[in-house]
Amino acid sequence: MRPALRLAGALLLSCWGLSAPALATEYPLPEAGSRLIGENTLTVVPDDKRPLESIASHYKIGLLGMLEANPGVDPWLPKAGTQLTVPLQMLLPDTPHEGIVINLAELRLYYYPKGEDRVIVYPIGIGQLGAATPVMVTSISQKIPNPTWTPTPNIRKRYAKEGITLPGVVPAGPDNPMGLFAMRLARGTGQYLIHGTNADFGIGMRVSSGCIRLRPEDIEALFASVPKGTRVQVINQPVKYAIEPDGKRYIEVHQPLSRTDKDDPQTMPIALTAPMKTFMNSPQSDTALIKAALERRSGMPVLVSSGEPVTQDTAMPQVVQSQQGNEAGRATISEASGTTVTKP
């Protein structure tokens, strides 16, 4: 089980209402044949006694994404002055750029507006152990503003084991666990939805009963722009890789989803597909760099082209800090690493 899941109850109390104004999550689609988008950013933990969730919310990413990129950081009270890597660079999933694509392993939702040359990326919460969100190809069958919540028998049983008796129906409103907007998926009996939440703590974590959960401002924006009938593909790919048009090779490795509460996603084996093994064993790929990235599991793209230098930090994207970036708001971009260095 991911250690961060044990933080859920505490973060519910500590993160309520602490989210800062969010940055844009919209990216132009890359050139034909490319899947690399975005740039990583460096930031510094402010001395405001807020949890890591507040920083994750500001940058529109999930809590576990921040923990993957910054292992060892205290999620409750990160030390003021600590420099953090914000993982905003990613490889687009190797799937059709159509409708909504959800990669469970990276806890992200990609939305490709029809007829537009852009993609919008949102962090999500997904199904917990025993109530996993399934892999599927489906569509949006219904859009529901101000949804009510009717807990299923299985949900009632789970809560009852914790001494909680749920009401028959939770009315629409700010206290509804589904938030203010929901979109039903056509799969099965329609039991799976993409919806909001009344508590941000579960974004970027496995805490739902199988539905896909977004922060309130994100589901409002998605709800407004996604038409009924939109294609939805749910995949589970902890490893993404790409060969860019310039020949550079990248791999992006996330912690795999645990199958039991005894699993450690940082060390549990990751099944490699035949194409991935071909990519790994190619003379153009550096096997040592790939193995280091598979072990580190940073959740960020790593350059693994043959001939790249192997260093102690080889499984992490290179971070280059400008000597002239001391003024507030100054930023420099490392073309090789795709990393922007900013001062808060």
CA distance 179 to 146: 7
E strands of 55-205, at which residues? 83-86, 90-91, 99-103, 108-112, 118-123, 126-127, 136-145, 181-185, 193-195
Backbone angles phi, psi at 53, to 5 degrees: -55, -35
Residue 286 DSSP label: -
Identify residue 148 by its one-letter amino acid code.
T
Contact 101, 110 (CB under 8 A): yes
Sheet strands side by side (includes 239-243)? 239-243, 249-253, 301-303
Question: At a CB cut-off of 8 Å and minimum separation 6, what does 211 contact?
Answer: 127, 133, 178, 192, 193, 194, 195
Could you give the C-alpha distances from 337 to 242, 309, 320, in angstroms and in order?
15, 14, 8
Q: How many CA atoms, within 13 angstroms, populate the side-chain half-sphere of residue 184?
A: 15
Dihedral sign computed on CA atoms, order 120, 121, 124, 126: positive
Q: How many CA atoms, within 13 angstroms, populate the side-chain half-sphere of residue 220?
A: 7
Backbone angles phi, psi at 225, to 5 degrees: -110, -15
CA distance 51 to 65: 14
CA distance 312 to 298: 14
Q: Annotated catalytic sites, by residue? A: 195, 211
Contact 303, 241 (CB under 8 A): no
Residue 343 DSSP label: -
